[in-house]
Structure 1
């Protein structure tokens, strides 16, 4: 059986509207949340989200993962920072809680992959993308398979407890978990490390 390529691979080689929609649904909330967290006006956030998305669409074919941990989220963070800097250079006003100097400091922190702000970006990225991937995968499996997976893998119940609850064998519990995890791994390849 052929393994389905990851979302990033599909977008790089054979993108279709559904793949771009999935990417948009995964990443737009993260980008919007981060830009909004900098104290920007709603209209500026929305403009910047569109700028970031346009750069991603244009530059994704240039992205090479090379098995580096965090490569994609670092690349996306860099695009987000650069789009905001360009927005400011263009003379667009982006009021923040304090002033432009505070925004410049935050941008420098976000650009520094060792800063606590970048580490917070990474953690939020992984948390949000995993939540969205779980939602997407849930829609592709049988409801009972998902319920078994959720009870066993996400809620930490024992295989015996889940088997008893759903009146299935413990082996069926492990199979359900395996099927869902396989779908998650396929979709998460390169997105979460």
Structure 2
């Protein structure tokens, strides 16, 4: 395995010479931000502009970003950048978001800033689910079908290794190795983005 694949996507994206990894990181996060901005009455063209602004900040500041091994450090940093850019948009347009339900969008934005709020907890869960789903799609092609199926059945279907081995006609040791190899690859890719896998 070459050295580039042993470093997380986040780590590779900090290298200005690795534009492919930066592009992957941007492609990973743009849909997530797009989905969140829709909740804040942001028009599609404005959302595209905001996402470009957030990505520009990330590109500029990511090499100096200190993950500090705190749970959720990157996703919290990204969330705060997004909140600041959204607030700047509203200020520049002298726009006061309309109330929706029992709290105004501005109140929800304040809650999104608070690391301990329910809105932030929802962001964290949505972030992790989105990132893991996208990373799984990205690494899927690195494995043979049988290896992936053995991993999937154990991790997502909750099947025991001996049952998977019998169904896939694999030695049980190969079933354990399949799970380990895929998990290891996912953990490596997700390091710094998602805090724990499996």
Q: TM-score normalized by structure 1? A: 0.91
Pair 1:96–1:82, CA change in 2 (3 A): same
Say whether residues 1:79 and 2:81 are aligned partners: yes
RMSD: 2.1
Task: Give the alignment partner of residue 159 of structure 1, picking from 152, 156, 161.
Answer: 161
Partner residue of 1:28? 30
Give, in whole Å, the separation in 2 of the partners of 1:11 and 1:87. 27
How many residues are treated as equivalent by the alignment?
A: 192
Residue ranges of structure 2 left out of the alignment (5+ in a row): none
Give, in whole Å, the separation in 2 of the partners of 1:139 and 1:184. 12
CA displacement 1:1-38 (0-9 Å, x = unmatched): 76711111112235522211221222111111111112
Pair 1:63–1:171, CA change in 2 (3 A): same
Give, in whole Å, the separation in 1 of the partners of 2:78 and 2:162. 42
CA displacement 1:158-189 (0-9 Å, x = unmatched): 11111111111111100000110110011011
Query: Which structure is richer in relative contact order (CA contacts within 8 A, separation 6 or more)?
Result: 1
Shift of 1:102: 2.1
Q: TM-score normalized by structure 2? A: 0.89
Contact in 2 for aligned 1:126/1:192 (Cα 8 Å): yes
SS in 1 for 2:104: helix
Give, in whole Å, the separation in 2 of the partners of 1:14 and 1:45. 26
Deviation >3 Å, runs of 4+? 92-98
Give, in whole Å, the separation in 2 of the partners of 1:42 and 1:97. 20
